[in-house]
Structure 1
């Protein structure tokens, strides 16, 4: 369909992607003169009226979204049997392509991408739009690092009759939530589960569940426990793994309640105090080991008839038992046995209670002393004086000096039994960290990474420099360097950011020799390109620069560009006509005349041929050069009493008048 124009304004240029239901083209909006993406519905779905109506309603709903991380929908239309949607064009790659080419992404980068996706999902959920097909293929990463979520609402438009004609399930089953795989109701938490799979794939480079068929993968989502991310990539912090585990728990009620809740958790998961938090443990769900079948009307009918048959049999059995006449037991024997048993229970319970009191005497309780902010030696002594046991755990801390108690567990007004344990967390002082590699990252990504490490905003210095290799906004240098030891709370980081390629002012080199022009161009940061010799009307001196086209003097030119030079070969063009015109200047005897002769011809305008002061009349030969496009004019000027030159004589010469 390349070259086709839709709606009279969208010119399809090239196919850039597609799936089972639609094909995406890069196109140009001819009215607004901007690049757009046009998604065209495949022809086999154009006749499904139910699908088309829902497709258009979904597209219109998504067009109502306005968020920097959502690919905008500009227009929806129909051209004959072709249904299409016009969207924002994002120049870059998909997240899937990034993972395939790079493998597991750095944790900081993966968290940043997931945060932007969650921000988009939270906005969509607030507008009652569920994506239902979150996967790396639907996440676009622009060249500026901006994350864009696309294909909102399309999955909702698929009907039971069309799903068998497409490969949509096959492409998305690795990211299905258990409720989607079971065929149940999907909502916000299904999107959260799918994003959990995407985050899992970003930090490990692998999918958690795979199989030979879509059915086998769907069953694994339902039945198999999640392979823990840290077993694949031990470099993942426990806090990040906890986020993934909570997003991927099979019971939707145990997942994050909303995209906002997961986003809030992600925004703090890389803080130093959270990196080594305890692993999340969820209760074991018996439903993971079996598949609950869908209950059909036939199954209900069969179950009802089974209950009726069972009831009938029971009535027959009771009738048969009634025919057997058993002698009844005496009532007082049963009563006596019950009374005796109850009495024996109370006697044994009383004796056992007294025995336990003798074996395990009561331990007195003591108040827990407050030791936070104290030196560890003093804190330990306080705890021991209270007849408790101190358990000391050291950890890094940016604010308290080494050896000071950061916090305690438990704390006052708690009371404990004597010899119970009080855990005190003691500062090891600030710990040096490895400086990350910021080069090639965008400025915003680098700044986010440094802030997460604990660098203060005022200690992050950005310096912009021109760079011929890197695009504008990309980090090209850093101080401290990669892997240097730094203290985030007090050190300063200088980040060099590219301003893009530099531009210089084109110097005037026309009329100079090639050597002189070369020196001027090199001084300006430019190179000398091809040197072309040709005849010229303007100068007959060989080697003089005639033109630097297309680079005119004073133009801003990209640094390092090779400037082509056109120079004179010392000759005039073959169609030129040269002639010497005699011009007579008359002088009254006894007077002095200050005169000037100017020539305008193919060589240029207002060229001074003669300028002198004479005391007698004289004739001067004035050379002229004419071209088919340029005639010649000779003007004689005489300086008057006011010391200004006054035109005295004008001599026009036509090209055609000369032989």
Structure 2
């Protein structure tokens, strides 16, 4: 169970009934917890969607429909739904808690299954999917992650033939006639298991699930999927362009009947596959019956009685029996050595049943030799089992993946890569840890599980604008970030109680434990800013003062009359708090013009100069074609545009 990340929901009680005790898994759209139903005193699974999905109306509706969908599928191999509701605005489902592991976990541990185990699991998977098909539903996402393998009723460790299998996530199914593409245009299927028709035309029906079940069978038999790659789109198109290869090409011991079954289930032409999960189930049962008959025949051959040993070999038999009876060395019934029906004969020198002393000596020598040989065999076997076949595990920590792969090939070790681990110090794709540890005992050519570094763990600050505070905090805390609530602000665009902004800004890269400050909206401010543009500054001041607002004035040159309000911030109609400032741009009037010194200039030329400066001219004197002898205002005087300048010409 993954409880390493602090989760605020753990320990809380939902709807006064479901007390969350731990986190099971976190997917792309929802998180699954274990919880105690305090009313019925039982353990349940509680699935709650992520806050980032809360605003997606289509997804919320689909999530809510999951309860109704599964309720229609009353079947022992389908995970049951008990209840549904909302917690802090987030929808949740209460489901049956299955004590066990996903099929993905089983494959990670076992790598692959034998044919009988694979068929046993597939039968129960198909029984559940067939129930959905009878109800007119398509699962659309059949994969090992959605198959739960519960503990065997017989209690046998690793007994997958008797295990109970349940299929989950039928809530992502839709009616057969519905589109197979979600609202964002994304295929609702995992590319490793996607049917060709979903890729080419987005169509899904019961045969789509049959194809995915065939891929799961292939993976159970071989330990790998048939098509893989770094680009999901490329992997999806491989299903369209290529036939699924026979499992026996990977594992030679896979029977021909299972090769044929995989081929029929994964034909690229949907019309050539079994019509639905029920039809495929019948084929699997037929194949499994054949496998069972073959296993029974082999078992009978193994039970053919061995010849009874000679009386003199009793001591050797006793030695082997003692070794076999040690803890951890139990054999199945058909493999046990024959028991002695009577004690070995005791011979004494001079016994009349012997033909002579020499014969007795030879028998004793042969018996001693046989005992010595058997002792050597037992000692050698014991040495090999306990010591000889083991070596020390090599140290692969701090090797790159390429270096570790090369070392394993050169030294005949099998590598398995587990989930990666984030590291602040170890570079990405470098070995962080290994199991067995360096220098620990390992079988020659055995498997070493490596954990590769994912590099430093980093999170981008999401866009939480408009998200309710509780949902925003939950999303950040699930990513391991600390949350601080800053000073609330008024906002004309964001509803009260929702996030206005974040600090650091959206998209900033943070590491686990960093703090994000959320600024929350107080709603629209109570005072509506009036429209003051075009008014005299004195009138604007009075109006703002009457509303409880303050004017901040900035004077600018303008063609508008002096003291006229040219612009304002904030805009008219915007909400403002009491004593808030409204910035006003105020006209200083047109810029002043400097009157030039015109004395002794020709009178007409002086008039043209003044008119070019946007000044009015009045000529006085008895000779308008003479020279300027006087002017008013005088030279170098600053006056407003269109001021009249009087010149006296003589």
Please state which band the TM-score falls in when normalised by the shorter chain: 0.3 to 0.5
More relative contact order, 1 or 2 (CA 8 Å, 6+ apart): 2
Bigger share in strand: 1
Question: TM-score when scaled to structure 1?
Answer: 0.41
